[in-house]
Structure 1
Amino acid sequence: MLNKQIFFTDVHKAELLENEVRKVKENEVLAKMEYTVVSGGTERACIMGMNNTSQKFPMSLGYCGVGYVEEVGKDVKKVSVGDRILVYHGCHSKYNIRTEDEITKVENDTVSSLEAAFVIIASMGLGGVRKLEIELGESALVMGQGLLGIFATQFLRLSGANPVIAADLNPQRRDLALKLGADYAFDPSDKDFVEKVKAVTKGRGVNGCVEVTGIAQAMNQALECASWMGRISLLGCTRVSDSAVDYYQQVHRPGVKLIGAHNFVRPKYESY
C-alpha cells in the first residue's frame, strides 16, 4: 500500500512524495488520516533551516492530527479498526503508524474531526499557561496571538486571570483575542506598549506572561511588562538570540522567573 507524505527535501523546498506503508508491529496502530495541523512556528523554522533545527534533509514533520484506525497490532487493547483517534507526532501524510501510547480515541461524537485535530496543539498552549501557576485574580499577558497564543489567551481566561492582555502586531488577531476572552489587546510595536500594560495593571505589571512569538525582542518586552516576582513562560521557540537581556535589572533584581515551556517539558502521564 502506497502512502503520500509531505517532505522538506531542502531549504525552502517541500515535496509530496510516495512511500510504501510498512507492516504494523505488535503494539502499533495504522491510521488513515483525515486532518493534520500545521505548526506554523516549527514547520517554518525547519524549512528555512533556522538555528536550533536539525537541518538534516529530507525531513518529515507534523505532530497532531486525527484519523481512523485501519489496522492494529496483536497487543493493542484500547482501540479497534474503525475507531476515530488523535494521532500524536504523526506526519503530514495519508497514513500514519504510531504506538498505542501515541494515540487517543475520540469518544465524543459531538466533536468534529476538524475540531479534534487541534486538541494536541491546544494542549501546548495549556502547558504554557499551567507552568505559570496563575491564581484567581492575577494579571496575565500573552505575547503573540497566533494559533498557540490564542489558545493560551482562552486558557488564561478559564484559569481566572484578570485582566487578560493580548499582544500582537496584527489587528485582526487582536480583535479575535478580544472576542475569545482577552480584556485588552495591544500592538507591541506601539512606543507606549509597556506603559499601556502597566496602566491596566495599576502600575504593577503582569503577574504572568506567556511568550509565544519566539522572538527575542518580544521576550525583552515581556520582561519590561513583568511585575515584581512575575513569571514568564517561554512557550515560543526562541531559536535566534539576537536581543540582549539585562539579567540584573530585568530578572535578578525584580525576582522574575523564566520558565521553559517546550512541549516535551511535562509529565508523560497525569499523576491522578
Structure 2
Amino acid sequence: MKGKHIYFPAAETATLADFDLPDAPGPEEVLVKTEYSLISAGTELANFLNLPNTGTSSNGFPHRPGYSSSGRVLAVGSAVQDLQPGDRVALSWRWHRSRDVAPVKKVTKISDAAIDMQEAAFMHLSSFPFGGLRKLQVQMGESVLIAGQGLLGIIATQLARLSGAVPVIAVDLKPERRKLALELGADYAFSPAEPDFCEQVLAATGGKGVNAVVEVTGVAKALRQALEYVARFGRISLLGCTRIPDEPLNFYKYVHCRGITLIGAHTMARPSCESHPGWWTEHDDYQTFLQYLSLGRLKIKPIISAVRDPADANEVYHDLAHNPNPPLGVLFDWRNLE
C-alpha cells in the first residue's frame, strides 16, 4: 500500500513523497486514515535546522518529523478489541503521513462525537505540559509562572489555572502571545525583555517571587532568569529542551543556597504503566485532555493559527523557522490525500 508522508531529506528541506506501508494491519495494529497532524514547532524546527542535541544531529538525514495527529480507523488487526473501522482516534508518536499502520497502544479512541478533529490532533503534544505541570505538584493558591507562550506554554498556562494557581503569570517576548495568554486565563503577562521584568514578577507575587515555574523556552538564559525570580524553596519544571548550553549558571548561589528544586520534565521521563501523584502515564493524561475538551475547560481552537496543505511543507517549515512572528498552532490537513 502507498501513502504520502513528509520528511526532511537534508537540513532546511521538507518534502512530500510516497512511502510504502503494509497492505493490512498486524494482529495488534490499526490502519488509520489521517485527518490532521500537528507541527510541534520546537522539536521539529530543531531537527529541520539540524541543531545540537537533536535526532538529526545524532542520526543524520533523512528525518521523519511529527508525533501528534488525528484520524479515522480503516481496519484493525485480529487481536484488537476496543476499536473498529469508522472510529475517530488520536495518534501518539506517529509521523506526518496520510495513513498509518500503528501499534494499537499508540491509538486512542475519541468517544465524544462533539470533539473537533483539529483539536484532537493536539492530544499527544498536550500531554507534555500536563506532565511538566504535574511534576510541580501545584497547590491551590500557589503562584505559577510559565516562561514561553508557544504551543506547550499556552497550554501549560491554561492548566496552571485549572490547577488552582494564583496568580498565573505568562511570559513571552511576543505581545500577541501575551495577549492570547491573558484571554485564555493568565492573570498577568510580562515581557522578559523589559528592564524591570523581575521587579514586575515580584510585585505580582507580593514580593515573594513565584512558587513554581514551567520553563518552556528551552533557552539557557531564560532558565538563569527564572532562578532570579523564583521564590525561596521554589520549583522549576524544565519542560522546554535546552539544547544549546550557552549560559553559565551559578548553581551554588541560585539553587543550592536558596533550596530550589529543578525538575526534568522531558515527556519521556514519566512512568509507562502506572500513574502516581505528580507522575502520570501518557495514556492517563490523554484521557484527561479529552475530558477537558468535552467539558470545554481547555481551549484549543484559539491557538490554531493555520491549517495547511502537506504539499506546502517546505514553505511551512521555512516560515516557522525564519518568520519573526511565526504562526502558533499549525496543522497539516490530510483529508484529500491518500
Question: Shorter-normalised TM-score: what interval?
Answer: over 0.9
User: In the aligned structure 2, how far is the partner of 1:247 from the partner of 1:121?
Assistant: 31
Matched, 1:22 2:22: yes
User: In the aligned structure 2, how far is the partner of 1:54 from the partner of 1:210?
Assistant: 24
User: In the aligned structure 2, how far is the partner of 1:251 from the partner of 1:142?
Assistant: 19
Matches within 5 A, 1:201-240: 201-240=205-244
Displacement of 1:126 after TM fit? 1.2
Normalised by the size of structure 2, how large is the TM-score? 0.79
| Identical pairs, percent | 47
User: In the aligned structure 2, how far is the partner of 1:188 from the partner of 1:167?
Assistant: 7
**Residue 33 of structure 2: aligned partner:** 32
Matched, 1:99 2:103: yes
**Residue 12 of structure 2: aligned partner:** 12
Q: Which runs of 5+ in 1 are unaligned?
A: none
Displacement of 1:270 after TM fit? 4.2
Displacement of 1:194 after TM fit? 0.7
Deviations 1:3-23 (CA, angstroms, capped at 9, x unpaired): 100001111111111012224
Deviations 1:21-43 (CA, angstroms, capped at 9, x unpaired): 22422111110100000000000
Amino acid at match of 2:145: L
User: In the aligned structure 2, how far is the partner of 1:104 from the partner of 1:269?
Assistant: 16
Name the structure with the higher helix share.
Answer: 2
Matched, 1:111 2:115: yes
Displacement of 1:45 after TM fit? 0.2
User: In the aligned structure 2, how far is the partner of 1:16 from the partner of 1:35?
Assistant: 15
**Residue 46 of structure 1: aligned partner:** 47
User: In the aligned structure 1, how far is the partner of 2:187 from the partner of 2:55?
Assistant: 39
User: In the aligned structure 1, how far is the partner of 2:14 from the partner of 2:22?
Assistant: 23
User: In the aligned structure 2, how far is the partner of 1:65 from the partner of 1:271?
Assistant: 24
State the aligned residue count: 272
Matches within 5 A, 1:188-207: 188-207=192-211
**Residue 187 of structure 2: aligned partner:** 183
Deviations 1:223-252 (CA, angstroms, capped at 9, x unpaired): 111100100000001000101111011110
Match for residue 64 of structure 2 among 46, 57, 60: 60
User: In the aligned structure 2, how far is the partner of 1:269 from the partner of 1:161?
Assistant: 28
Match for residue 150 of structure 2 among 134, 139, 146: 146
Root mean square deviation, CA, Å: 1.1
Q: Which runs of 5+ in 2 are unaligned?
A: 277-338
**Residue 80 of structure 2: aligned partner:** 76
Moved over 3 A (4+): 269-272
**Structure showing greater relative contact order (alpha-carbon pairs closer than 8 Å, 6 or more residues apart):** 2
Displacement of 1:268 after TM fit? 2.1
**Residue 322 of structure 2: aligned partner:** none
User: In the aligned structure 2, how far is the partner of 1:124 from the partner of 1:96?
Assistant: 23
User: In the aligned structure 1, how far is the partner of 2:125 from the partner of 2:105?
Assistant: 17
